[in-house]
Structure 1
Amino acid sequence: MTPSPVNPADGAVWGVLYGTDAMRGAVGEMALLQRMLDVEAALARAEAGLGIVPQAAADAITAAARAEQLDLAALAKATRNTGYPVVGLVKQLGALAGEEAARWTHWGATTQDILDTALVLALRDGFQLIRDDLEDTIDALAARAREHRDTVMAGRTHLQHALPVTFGYKCAVWLSPLLNLRERLDDLLPRLLRVQFGGAVGTLASLGNKGPAVAEGLARELGLGVPEIPWHVARDTLAEAVSWCGILCGALSKIATDVMLLMQTEVGEVFEPHEAGRGGSSTMPQKRNPIACEYVLAQARGVHALVPQVMAAMALDHERGTGPWQAEPLAIPQAMLLTHGALDQARQIAQGMTVDAARMRRNLEATGDAIMAEAVMMALAPVMGRGAAHDAVHHACDVALAERVPLAEALGRDDAVASRMGAEEIARITDPASYLGSAGLFVDRVLARLS
């Protein structure tokens, strides 16, 4: 009987909301088993090229290295006995390759060489998926920032109207960290995508003076870099990779939080992509819940919980860890899966969001343009004094809110203000579009980074 998944992200039903099938195909158990076989086959070919292993044996091992041929039940039994799948996998690979080739399988390697290099290969595939979707999300947000560069809306601090901004500015604020993360990923990958091959304690003693040449040949076969020293007990790049996932998820959480708040009935300025039945309620037909935002946040929190687990796994003892390293399989593939799931949801939001510019304008006007109080005060201060200007504008805001009239009208009733500022000037200074500061410049700067 096939075991039933415990983690919802691995289930047939809940799994559609957590992660993606593409990432499961890259870092799931069968993918990792195939990558282990790929490493074993590449090792045999590299050693054959150096005259260590017969070419016929390398050919037979390569032909047999197919995960679909494995007896998974037998492999599970062997794994239970040894604590790792590699011993059982090598035994089955040898049986599939034939008696003569079996003598040469896993030559000079140790279990962790195979597991670590297989993980790196899986991460290469996984990060390519993430890189592609990150690029699409960047493109979508850039298009929104460009389209809405001058679409005025309320800027909010502590969930209250503060000063005017533009929706393009808000999109650029979302976009900038993703551009940073793209740069960080491109910088990280060369450190991460390196072969691990060191033998029993990392010295390659079993291969004599040919050890470094084998490592280089293995790296060439797999398209990986060669480290200056085996890294089996130095897990910094793995921790860096998962930490990068955590930072990405934090940036996506910012986007999801903002969109979720903008979707509130009382705000109604931006909405997730909509399709029939999506975000509906079992009892309230009118509901349009922020489902994508909610799952960005849920998956991000899952990744953030896994980052400390990978950090803790760096505390390895001597030349082979007794516990911390074994915790990585519980955290790293799951972090990749949830990260891609969060990014997939965020990409859909960025590409398909609905923006209601008219509602943004109505919300600006809902307080009678009181959002322009600072602008008016700053304009009056040079002629009235800062204290007097503050008091006059504060009084006008009270009138505007109490009587539900525009701030411009309330200001015009104040003789102290009207005597120093004409109606046209008051109208100009209370227009939210006149007080955007350098918002447009900042949008342009962020967009300039795309080229």
Structure 2
Amino acid sequence: MSGIDLADSVIYGHLWATDETRALLGDAGRTSAWVRIIAALAEVQGELGVIPEAAAAELARLDGTVDLEAVGEETRASGHSTLGLIRVLRRGLGPEAAEWIYYGATVQDVTDTWFGLVMRDVLDLAERELLAIETALLRRASEHRDTPMLGRTHGQPGLPITFGFKAAVWAAEVGRHLDRIGEARPRLAVGQLAGAVGTLSAWGDAGPELQRRLMSRLGLGVPETSWLTARDRIAEYVTLLALVTGTLAKIGNEVYNLQRPELGELSEAPTPGVVGSITMPQKRNPERSEHLWTLARLVRSDAGLALEGLVGEHERDGAAWKTEWAIVPQATAAAATALTLARELVEGLRVDARRMQANLDAQRGYVLAEPAMLALAQRVGKHRAHELVQRAALAGQEADVTFAEALAADPEIAALLPQTDLRVEQALGAARTTVDDVIARRRSR
């Protein structure tokens, strides 16, 4: 581990990548995958008589084990993306196999096919983690279906909701990402075998069948055309990661704010041994929640670069394509880390229903202004009712009295509504049935 890239840092690597993504995206994992693709290509070429059977049999035995230092040295010497690897592989081959390795294929045939494998595997990873996150959120939604709390708009008290409703809103958003993953998988989990300009020219009539068999062997779909410069797949993939991490950061942001001691409604589960501050021993910081923002920002910035790659030059464009070598690993590692943190966050989330109720009670009834306005609207119309209730509420807050007292002190309102019985139940609307609906949709899916 060099430590130059934070994902590979011995000290900080756990904050920026996971062991799973390092194994998938690091030099060893990437190069091993490339070699396996080259071996599978040779095996299929041998089946179709494109290359000699003996050469194909030897090449098919390549297992991904390779001297990375030697590959690096040869890559620098050749100035080519994959020739260094080919040179090192040829050293261990017999004369015939060494001549037929990677026959007719171009750089992007192996690198883009690897991208397809990465996208396939990471979509599976994201689906696994999102299902766990959704399950945890739905459990919270069910447990707190009837737990009242303040709903806030523009950071200020609005109307009562239930915590179950808030958790259901989060869960529904996560569920939509699961839908998006299912819809994207057939588009993204495809390989590339196209040759120099995307026409499979090197293999003649055998080209389409060679492509079909190779992708089948690798567990990938066959693209309808070459995507040498059609980089919408990469753009979609990184943008999907940006959407997912954006939702996770949103959840983290809410937990971060509701963990403030003056609110104290939610909190992260403490991790034994973790220190919040080396100068303020009493602190317990929302580390997971906060880091979700950071990771989401990285992925969003990578999504912008991925979208830039949509504009490419003719049948090959290294500028757009090689940018992806940097952003796909970074976005993938950050998103995987965010998914892990978010799962830990929601599975260990602590809910303080008493503080929720206390914060609701502290509003002294003013969050019930909407039901009061709607009751009054039956007599004087909605807009006049709004004016009257706003007038009474502002006067009551100035006089430091309860909302019920403020309504009673306004002679016009008191005459129209002599008996004002306002309860939180009146303001919850469909909060609880929303929880039921979200849970039911998950079960049906």
Smaller-chain TM-score bracket: over 0.9
**Residues 346-425 of structure 1 correspond to what in structure 2 (within 5 A)?**
346-383=342-379, 389-390=385-386, 393-394=389-390, 397-398=393-394, 401=397, 405-412=401-408, 417=413, 421=417, 425=420
| Counterpart residue number, 1:191 | 187
Match of residue 85, structure 2, among 84, 89, 103: 89
| Counterpart residue number, 1:7 | 5
Match of residue 428, structure 2, among 436, 443, 447: 436
**Residues 1:145 and 2:159 are matched in the alignment:** no
**Residues 1:103 and 2:99 are matched in the alignment:** yes
**Residues 1:231 and 2:223 are matched in the alignment:** no
Q: Deviations over 1:205-261 (max 9, x none)?
A: 221211111111111211111122221121111111111111111111211111111
Cα distance in 2 for partners of 1:260, 1:364 equals 19
| Counterpart residue number, 2:47 | 49
| Counterpart residue number, 1:125 | 121
**8 A contact 1:61–1:93 mirrored in 2:** no
Shift of 1:375: 1.4
Please report the TM-score for the alignment, with normalisation by the length of structure 2. 0.93
**8 A contact 1:233–1:320 mirrored in 2:** yes
| Counterpart residue number, 1:315 | 311
**8 A contact 1:27–1:123 mirrored in 2:** no
Partner of 2:105, secondary structure, is: coil
Shift of 1:40: 0.4
| Counterpart residue number, 1:342 | 338
Gaps of 5+ in 2: none
Shift of 1:352: 0.9
Partner of 2:274, secondary structure, is: coil
**8 A contact 1:26–1:126 mirrored in 2:** no
Q: Deviations over 1:286-343 (max 9, x none)?
A: 2121111111000000011111111212222122214221111011111111111112
| Change in 2 beyond 3 A, CA 1:365/1:102 | same
**8 A contact 1:168–1:443 mirrored in 2:** yes
Shift of 1:432: 1.6
Cα distance in 2 for partners of 1:14, 1:156 equals 36
Partner of 1:188, secondary structure, is: helix
More divergent stretch after superposition (261-270 vs 195-204): 195-204
Partner of 1:34, secondary structure, is: helix
Cα distance in 2 for partners of 1:256, 1:199 equals 45
| Counterpart residue number, 1:163 | 159
Gaps of 5+ in 1: none
**Matched letter for residue 39 of structure 1:** I
Cα distance in 2 for partners of 1:386, 1:314 equals 51
**Residues 264-283 of structure 1 correspond to what in structure 2 (within 5 A)?**
264-278=260-274, 280-283=276-279
| Counterpart residue number, 1:135 | 131
RMSD: 2.2
**Matched letter for residue 433 of structure 2:** L
**Matched letter for residue 284 of structure 1:** M
Shift of 1:284: 1.1
Runs of 4+ residues over 6 Å off in structure 1: none
**Matched letter for residue 255 of structure 1:** I
Cα distance in 2 for partners of 1:209, 1:373 equals 75
**8 A contact 1:195–1:219 mirrored in 2:** yes
| Counterpart residue number, 2:240 | 244
Question: Identity of paired residues, percent?
Answer: 38
Partner of 2:222, secondary structure, is: coil
Q: Deviations over 1:422-449 (max 9, x none)?
A: 66x52xx1x2232111222222222222
Cα distance in 1 for partners of 2:265, 2:384 equals 36
Please report the TM-score for the alignment, with normalisation by the length of structure 1. 0.92
Q: Deviations over 1:124-158 (max 9, x none)?
A: 22222111111111111111111111111111111
| Change in 2 beyond 3 A, CA 1:279/1:251 | farther
**Residues 1:18 and 2:19 are matched in the alignment:** no
**8 A contact 1:234–1:314 mirrored in 2:** yes
Cα distance in 2 for partners of 1:19, 1:227 equals 30
**8 A contact 2:27–2:68 mirrored in 1:** no
**Matched letter for residue 108 of structure 2:** Q
